[in-house]
A and B are shown apart, each in its own frame.
Chain A
Amino acid sequence: MSTSHVFLEGHRIRVEISSSKFPQYMRNLNTGGNNVDETERNGFTLIGHEKQVLPGSVAHYIAISRERKLALVGVKGTSGLEELITDCVGGIVTHALEGPFIQGSPREVRCHEGIALAATRLAEDLGVIVQALLLPAGYRLLITGHSLGAGVAALVAVILRSRIPRLRDDEDGVIRVLAFGSPPVLDHDAALACAGFVSSIVNNSDVIPRMSLSNLVVMSRMLQAVHDKMAEKGVSPQDLKSTAALMQWLARGTDGEMIMSVDEVRAGLNQVLAEVELTDPDHLYVPGKVIHMYDLWGSSGDEREAEGSVDEQAVSGESTADDGSGRRRAAERVYVGDGTSSELRHIEMEARLLSDHLPAAYRDSIQVLLSPAKTG
């Protein structure tokens, strides 16, 4: 280190010691290996790694555990949130399958076009390996991914099951999907039908699993309701110079009165939800069984957020911080439902709707939920 700096009177000098500064410096995997292409981890050996991302295809890896007779396929998500949002609001198409993906299911699903394209290509590659190598050797298959990768993972499983009858045997659980922060990717019936082999995990207010056309309909109708209410009170949105000004005004209301009470908002939302047709062919849902990790408003999560003392956080040993500029909520409770659960049927308009989507936020929540102290 070299510097020329004046520590001013009243300031303090601090030194931090740790073992990583990511992503500026590559992580040390602590194995003593070269840290670059080490392929052994938790008993898994890397057997394939497609790093290249082309339009309509996704990077992925395949690793196998001989001991557990398990093949793990990891599908890469999008590198940026803009891309993901673009992907999610893209066209919805009917994708023809070669056969049913569960007994008696239709031979076509409605899904997002870009995800269908990426999943079809990946299923081509994987299908060969599954049929020629993994199934004859008695291996099971676990496909996982985050974000776009999660959506692709679910659809790959649907496609593979439609092609390979052996994979449809759910009692064996030959193929399973763990989808973290998946966008809504399947139509109503298909999303529910894959609950036997797809588990989607949703963290708190993550906006991506809620980025569906039906939720945009819900949101626009809610905005319309607010707009009508404003007109009733004689205010036009044009009078307000910015979104921030609008938000401030909405919170403050007129003459100390809130524009809409919480009960009014809730009643309005319920009414809008009842009006939106769940089985509309253009409405997609988060696939399979949905495990929603959340914390309650005003519960310990918010308290922890509110307290600003660094020392206390350090003593409690909870690493709730991420990028140094904010404290993150970690989920403390779990709710199990499906893609049509009310928690997912509207966009949570709050500050963390994007940061709750980040892989690190998922990891934090899972760590808190799995820590032995919380299970008591």
Chain B
Amino acid sequence: VRGAASGAAHDAFTYDPMNPVPVARRRRVLQRGASLGGSFDQRGIEARADVLVYTSDVLESDLEVTGFVRAKLFVSSDARDTDFTVKLVDVHPDGAAFNVDDTILRARWREGYDEAVFMEPGEVYALSPRP
């Protein structure tokens, strides 16, 4: 998986709680209580400025992935606490990008849920969002 943005040492984005990343779902405005589950094309979401996107080269053969998918993030934030989301996506040859699975971690719980540990600006932390 190679970086989408550049060969820069890090990629950055600005999260605005007043404009959070939405859950992709079927476009039915009149349907209330639409289910949140399911696999939908993520390209609209990936176009947002607050979503970092990393894409592999084209696979030369089928690749089965079974089991836990672990992500390790090295992060730094100017906020004491924020959330980090990781989404695994299957990109079809036509460009359609379907979500396979995703996870989320609130940074203050990175050392365990028994004690909140806040971040310091400028420090880099290794996060492993759990299943």
Show the binding face of A for B, using Cβ within 8 Å. 1-25, 27-32, 79-82, 308, 310-311, 313-314, 317-327, 354-355, 358, 360, 363, 367
Pair A29/B50 contact, Cβ less than 8 Å: no
- Sample of 11 A–B contacts (CB below 8 Å): A5-B65, A6-B63, A12-B55, A12-B56, A13-B88, A17-B73, A18-B51, A310-B95, A314-B48, A314-B49, A324-B43
Task: Out of B17, B27, B32, B67, name the residue touching A326 (CB < 8 Å).
Answer: B27
Known contacts: A13-B88, A324-B45. The answer to whether A24 contacts B36 by CB under 8 A is: yes
Which residues of A sit under 8 angstroms from B131, Cβ to Cβ?
A: 1-2
The A interface is mostly helix, strand or loop, or mixed, namely loop
Pair B42/A32 contact, Cβ less than 8 Å: no
Which residues of B sit under 8 angstroms from A21, Cβ to Cβ?
A: 20-23, 85, 102, 104
Pair A14/B85 contact, Cβ less than 8 Å: no
Which residues of B sit under 8 angstroms from A7, Cβ to Cβ?
A: 59, 62-65, 90
Pair B85/A2 contact, Cβ less than 8 Å: no
Pair A1/B88 contact, Cβ less than 8 Å: yes
Give the CA-CA distance A284 to B129 in the complex, in Å: 53
In the complex, chain B residues 114-131 whose Cβ is within 8 Å of any chain A Cβ: 118, 129, 131
Instruction: Tell me the nearest residue of chain B to A22, going by C-beta.
Output: B20
Give the CA-CA distance A21 to B32 in the complex, in Å: 19
Give the CA-CA distance A320 to B19 in the complex, in Å: 12
Which residues of A sit under 8 angstroms from B97, Cβ to Cβ?
A: 14
How far does the Cβ of A4 sit from chain B's closest Cβ, in whole Å? 4
How far does the Cβ of B7 sit from chain A's closest Cβ, in whole Å? 16
Pair B49/A317 contact, Cβ less than 8 Å: yes
Give the CA-CA distance A324 to B34 in the complex, in Å: 15
How far does the Cβ of B22 sit from chain A's closest Cβ, in whole Å? 5
Does B79 lie at the interface of the complex (its beta carbon under 8 Å from any beta carbon of A)?
yes
Known contacts: A22-B20, A327-B47. The answer to whether A15 contacts B86 by CB under 8 A is: yes
How far does the Cβ of A352 sit from chain B's closest Cβ, in whole Å? 10
Instruction: Tell me the nearest residue of chain A to B97, going by C-beta.
Output: A14
Give the CA-CA distance A330 to B58 in the complex, in Å: 34
Give the CA-CA distance A27 to B104 in the complex, in Å: 11
Residue among A23, A30, A355 with the highest chain B CB neighbour number at 10 A? A30
Contact code string B62-87 (vs A, CB < 8 Å = 1, else 0): 11111111110100000111111111
